[in-house]
Amino acid sequence: IILPEAMEAIKTAGLIDKTIYGSDGPQRPGFAKNYAERTLIAMEKAGYSFEEAQAVMAENAENLFPLGTNP
């Protein structure tokens, strides 16, 4: 599945609040930055709002793994 199609499928299925961005995979210099940019472009093409993209890129992970907070 191509990245824009994956982002559209996530949005259509109502899974944005359960999706966490990750860039694991074959690495090369500049891969992580390039992949993040391609992910944001794919989200834009799929009609994600700023808030939805922010949730996938950071907030969902922060909510699941609240680093730096006391229990």
Q: What is the pTM of this model?
A: 0.81
Chain centroid, CA 32 distance in Å: 12
Pull the structure tokens for residue 27. 């690495």
Burial of 3 (0-12, 13-18, 19+ CB in 10 A): middle
Better-predicted residue by pLDDT, 10 or 65: 10
Q: What is the pLDDT of residue 44?
A: 97
Provide the pLDDT for residue 26.
67
Helix H or strand E segment including 58: none
Write out the two tokens for 26: 């074959």
pLDDT of res. 31: 73
Q: Does the pLDDT at position 49 exceed 60?
A: yes
CA–CA separation, 52 vs 71, rounded Å? Answer: 27
Q: What is the pLDDT of residues 11-46, one digit of tens each?
A: 999 999 999 998 776 677 777 778 889 999 999 999
